[in-house]
Structure 1
Amino acid sequence: MTTKLKEVDVVIVGLGWTGGILAKELSATGLKVVALERGGQRSTESDFSVPAVRDELRYVVRHDLMMNTQKDTLTVRNNPSQEALPMRRLGSFLPGDVVGGSGIHWSGHTWRWNDMEFKVRSLYEERYGKKHIPEDMTIQDWGISYGELEPYYDKFEYTAAVSGKAGNLRGQIQSGGNPFEAPRARDYPLPPLTPLLAQEMFRTAAQNNGYHPFPRPSANASRAYTNPDGSRFGACQYCGHCQRFGCEANAKGSPHMTVIPIAMRSPNFELRTHMWVTKVLKDATGKRVTGVTYTNVLNGEEFEQPASIVLLTAYAINNVHLMLLSGIGQPYDPVGQKGVIGKNYCYQTGASATLFFEGRHFNPFMNAGGSSTTIDDYNANWDFDRGKQGYVGGFIVAGAFNTALPIGYRPVPSGTPSWGTAWKAATAKWYDTAMQINMSGSVMANRYNYYDLDPTYRNAFGLPLMRMTFDYKENEHKIGRHAAQVINDIAKSMNPTRLNPAVARTDPWTVVPYQ
């Protein structure tokens, strides 16, 4: 039997960064707000303190802060001719499953979109002609501008303790920052993180190759900080346990120690944990939502929560899934290209090189999640001629090393045996003497990359799983080939002892590896 509850003004489904911000802002106006989160609550004191948080097996291998694929997952395929199969283990992306969502375990990379990205179709057509955009690429102008969003970018950066160096202050290019970024009203609230040896070496090489390196902006506090709401941050400890972990020092901008506690101090706000929303309810016309139904996953009780406003602020995949399950909007049809729900799924592409320097010592165990030196010359730089390369979008290149945790970090030169005495010797030799240069590249909207409901597989509630149809297209292959060339040119100029060169991704996308 479903228990119908008293109506509230707002129901928030999923309490991460987006839900936390809205909970804080709306409850302050006097609206009665209820947040429903299917995960539990974690705190720095009880869950992320030393030594318990230094548990790679728990947080990295077993995904303690993330979605449990035994209860809910999605099916994946590369194209509509294939049968989609369930993702049984997290890999390519990592949805959070706690209060705070993925904002608990993220690295803290904090980018702004460049102003040109808001006008992506019209600018490319104007500069390169309509034929430059592939027929199956469904990019559109966004209808809003960077200038409209700039004050909110600024507010978030000051809320989340973002460390960085401005490159464009009110139209004036600043030394040491990203010269290709759109104008910002003021600098970051905190100076950049202390650069590590690998980043300094990359900076020198990038400059020598004619690029414009700068410290990547990251929500890792470079020093103690109190944000405008009074949330207090410790300084980053460079502990090496950042991505996939909560932060032991409260140095990583996370909703569980910023916006959510402020919302919870309001008498107008209520948080209900372990509540799984299964449907958004509509009125008789089907044009207005009236609330949600949800289940307490601890005891199986079902509830109906009426509300004037329903905000879907979970992981993006889950928001689309709930809309499809609830019959909200028209599901996207890739054949007729009708409907919008599930349309235009985008991801990212990547490539990386590993450089080995005999006699150098990088101390890779000392690192911050968002720390790297980066170049934006092939992304936000509109003077870069995409016509010669034949693609839409771009890529950033960063020099650093991945978080060097003892289970997962084993850099060895190509040709090293994958097990045995020789592998052990190579692991011991190169662990401290390797660094990476990697890239993150655009994946543009395509008519054949989309979500819909799977006709075969169901979740723990008997509801159809989300089905993802996605693959890299030739546009992404072109970006990958160009980026690999740039990475390898920089890497070779650094004269490493050994080099595992970057290779463009041209095989079909797979859900197994992370990004």
Structure 2
Amino acid sequence: MSTVMKKVDAVIVGFGWTGAIMAKELTEAGLNVVALERGPMQDTYPDGNYPQVIDELTYSVRKKLFQDVSKETVTIRHSVNDVALPNRQLGAFLPGNGVGGAGLHWSGVHFRVDPMELRMRSHYEERYGKNFIPKDMTIQDFGVSYEELEPFFDYAEKVFGTSGQAWTVNGKLVGEGKGGNPYAPDRSDHFPLVSQKNTYSAQLFQKAANEVGYKPYNLPSANTSGPYTNPYGAQMGPCNFCGFCSGYVCYMYSKASPNVNILPALKPLPNFELRPDAHVIRVNLDSTKSKATGVTYIDALGREIEQPADLVILGAFQLHNVRLMLLSGIGKPYDPKTGEGVVGRNFAYQNMATIKAYFDKDVHTNNFIGAGGNGVAIDDFNADNFDHGPHGFVGGSPMWVNQAGSRPIAGTSNPPGTPTWGSAWKRATADYYTHQVSMDAHGAHQSYRSNYLDLDPVYRDSFGQPLLRMTFDWQENDIKMNRFMMEKMGKIAEAMNPKAIARIGKQVGDHFNTASYQTTHLNGGAIMGTDPKTSALNRYLQSWDVHNVFVPGASAFPQGLGYNPTGLVAALTYWSARAIREQYLKNPGPLVQA
């Protein structure tokens, strides 16, 4: 029998970026808030203490900050005709675990969004015609515009302490010749901090991109270029390019995280409580199934606890948000055969291509230096910044050098043809470890009728609940785009005049490989929109079916972006929180009529 806790105004499931932002916003509104985090308590101090945090074996290899897939994971298959099996070794993506979530171990690349990608289907139909979009591609509009979100992008950057260079501010050109992005949408203010300094690898990329006629710019980075204090009073120190960024706690307080940038402002509040080791297993609904009464979770001692609340925020990782909705009966599960249902629909990922260029010993790239969000990029082939018509695919890709730090265990890379063991491998590693440049095409991934999430009928987690099942594979559009981007990025690599080039992309007939890391940018499954028949959430991230449940996060994206998702995740969360504070709390109920 469950232990019933005292009722609160709002309960938040998960304490990563979305959970932390919602907690701050709702406590500011005067609500009593409890945040439940399935993993342990962890913070920059003491968990990020130097020098023990500089440990590649513990963090990168043994994956200290990531989800324990022996207790809960996803099952994966390529199609409905395959048998899904549990993914028991993290590879392609790395969900976080514990206070801070994936926001503690991320790299820090902090984009906004190309406005076109918020109205993806409408834009492509207007420019290229309805028949240009493949029949089984289910892309759709977000239901919100860049202009509506711009103030929230701006505020999120101030909270994160983002370093970067604007192109235009209130219509005034300010970034030409200074590292600004000529394709970036207009902004209401400058970045809080100037761009970080560029590594030599980024400088080589910038020079080569200019030579082939592209327009390079500095990556917006949530790694600080100088000391900074954010609007919540959280203090950050300047990044020292230590090279231990993605997958690590930042001991310099230089990488934005919920732990550094928001939690210190929440800790003193009497109307906020953070409960770690609280694994939520369902959202509880009333007899009408149209209102949530709270959540049930399992604590560290294995006890079942019920937390009543007037408002439920699902702010967990993308996969977990979708699974909780399915387990709780919130929204109709998606059926790929009929195309009906919304929860699990439009699951999307990232479409990556990588090129490595290897140089003589007199070109010192010093790859052990790095900052997770730092780099130089081009947007010439992102979004719809080029004519897709002759190429026959949907989607675009930024390309960049993002030297985050190559560490000695996993960071060794040698030219094609090098033996993978023995004395020849050792010689090549010594010759090339600090004389190479890696660049990526970070392609937008589209949603398809056949890629979706549901509950596995066979496998269960350590609490006896069905695992989430992922049905996913690359489609023809993905392969076409990947090969196109590889060709365009190859021109940059060739302009660097390296000794050797390695190309790592997709070929016709390739399938999704769970073993090799790509990104942790998982999207969709509980998507936002304007039609309850094709979306689980309305434009304010409110469930169409259960009005006091809001679900922020990349699970709300109808398809993937070219850019990293965190900036849009943060802006949408602030947008949703504003709607809760200014509309929902005054008159609880649907904010958009179905």
- TM-score grouping bracket, smaller chain normalisation: over 0.9
Correspondence for 1:261: 264
Distance in 1 (alpha carbons) for counterparts of 2:75 and 2:96: 18
The C-alpha deviation readout for 1:417-440, integer Å capped at 9, x for no partner, is: 110010011111110111112111
1:129 aligns with 129
Aligned-partner SS, 2:469 = strand
Between the aligned residues of both structures, percent identity stands at 46
Shift of residue 49 of structure 1? 1.7
Query: Alpha-carbon deviation of 1:62?
Result: 1.0
Task: Report how many residues are paired.
Answer: 513
Cα distance change, pair 33–400 in 1 and its aligned pair in 2 (3 A): closer
Map of 1:27 onto structure 2: 27
Residue 475 (structure 2) aligned to one of 473, 476, 483: 473
| Shift of residue 98, structure 1, vs aligned partner | 1.0
Amino acid at match of 1:170: N
State whether structure 2 residue 197 is matched by structure 1 residue 163: no
2:333 is the counterpart of 1:300: no
Question: Partners of 1:308 and 1:503 in 2: how far apart?
Answer: 48
List structure 1 segments (4+ residues) > 4 angstroms apart after TM superposition: none
Q: CA deviation at 1:168?
A: 2.6
Supply the distance in 2 between the matched residues of 1:501 and 1:351 (Cα, whole angstroms): 8
Q: What TM-score do the two structures reach when normalised by structure 2?
A: 0.85
Partner of 1:385: 387
How high is the TM-score relative to the length of structure 1? 0.98
Going from structure 1 to structure 2, the CA distance change for 1:508 and 1:110 (only over 3 Å counts) comes to same
Matched, 1:242 2:238: no
* Range with greater deviation from structure 2 (113-122 or 68-77): 113-122
1:438 aligns with 2:454: no
Shift of residue 172, structure 1, vs aligned partner: 3.5
Alignment of 1:179 onto 2:173 = no
1:197 corresponds, among 190, 196, 200, to 200
- 1:346-357 to structure 2, matched below 5 A, reads 346-357=348-359
> Are positions 1:146 and 2:146 aligned together?
yes
Unpaired runs of at least 5, structure 2: 519-594
Q: Distance in 2 between matches of 1:276 and 1:183?
A: 41
Q: How far, CA to CA, are the matches of 2:505 and 2:248 in structure 1? A: 29
- Following superposition, the deviation at residue 505 of structure 1 comes to 4.8
Q: Partner residue of 1:456?
A: 458
SS of corresponding position for 2:240? coil
Give the whole-Å Cα distance in 2 for the aligned partners of 1:254 and 1:482: 35
- Asked if 1:219 is matched to 2:222, the reply is yes
Asked whether the equivalents of residues 350 and 505 of structure 1 are also in contact (C-alpha less than 8 Å), the reply is: no
CA drift at 1:403: 2.2
Write the distance in 2 (CA, Å) between the matches of 1:94 and 1:282.
31
Q: Conserved in 2, the CA contact under 8 Å of 1:351 and 1:505?
A: no
SS at match of 1:395: coil
Give per-residue Cα distances to partners, 1:454-509, cap 9 Å, x unaligned.
Answer: 01100000100000011111111111011110111111111111221343354101
SS state at 2:35 partner: strand
SS in structure 1 of the partner of residue 398 of structure 2:
strand
The aligned amino acid for 1:325 is L
Query: What is the letter of the counterpart of residue 127 of structure 2?
Result: R
Q: Distance in 1 between matches of 2:314 and 2:393?
A: 34
> Deviation of residue 383 (structure 1)?
4.4
Separation in 1, partners of 2:294, 2:302 = 19
Identify the residue that residue 312 of structure 2 maps to in structure 1. Answer: 310
Letter in 1 for 2:185: A
Distance 1:400-1:159 versus aligned 2 partners, 3 A rule: closer
1:44 counterpart residue number = 44
**One-letter amino acid of the structure 1 residue matched with residue 379 of structure 2:** D
Q: Partner of 1:468: helix, strand, or coil? A: strand
Query: Residue 449 of structure 2 aligns with which residue?
Result: 447
Deviations 1:314-371 (A, max 9, x none): 0010010011011111000011111100000010011111111102111111110111
Equivalent residues of 2:14, 2:36 under 8 A apart: yes
Classify 1:316/1:400 alpha carbon distance in 2 versus 1 (closer, same or farther; 3 Å).
Answer: closer
Q: In structure 1, how many angstroms separate the alpha carbons of the residues matched to 2:267 and 2:153?
A: 24
Aligned AA for 2:259? Answer: H
The answer as to 2:377 corresponding to 1:371 is no
- For 1:497, the equivalent position in structure 2 comes to 499
Distance 1:231 1:404 in 2: 29
Amino acid in the other structure paired with 1:345? F
Match of 1:228 in 2: 231
Report the 3-state secondary structure (helix = DSSP H, G, I; strand = E; otherwise coil) of the residue aligned with 1:387. Answer: coil
SS at match of 2:379: strand
Equivalent position SS for 1:447: coil
SS across alignment from 1:418: coil
For the 8 Å contact 2:43–2:99, the answer to whether it is kept is no
| C-alpha displacement of 1:400 | 4.2
Instruction: Give the Cα separation in 2 of the matches to 1:43 and 1:189.
Output: 24
Tell me how far apart the structure 1 counterparts of residues 37 and 165 of structure 2 sit (CA, whole Å): 35
Contact 1:168–1:178 (Cα < 8 Å) also in 2: no
The one-character-per-residue Cα deviations of 1:165-190 (angstroms, maximum 9, x if unpaired) are 11232234431211111111111111
Does the aligned pair in 2 maintain the 1:39–1:273 contact within 8 Å?
Answer: yes
Does the aligned pair in 2 maintain the 1:349–1:505 contact within 8 Å?
Answer: no
Aligned to 2:413: 411
CA RMSD of aligned residues (A): 1.1
**How far, CA to CA, are the matches of 1:441 and 1:501 in structure 2?**
15
SS in structure 2 at match of 1:389:
coil
Contact 1:41 1:99 in 2 (8 A): yes
Query: Is the partner of 1:386 in helix, strand or coil?
Result: coil
1:5 deviation in Å?
A: 1.4
2:519 is aligned with 1:512 = no
Residue 80 of structure 1 is matched in structure 2 by 80
Q: CA deviation at 1:391?
A: 1.2
Q: What SS does the corresponding residue of 2:345 show, helix, strand or coil?
A: coil
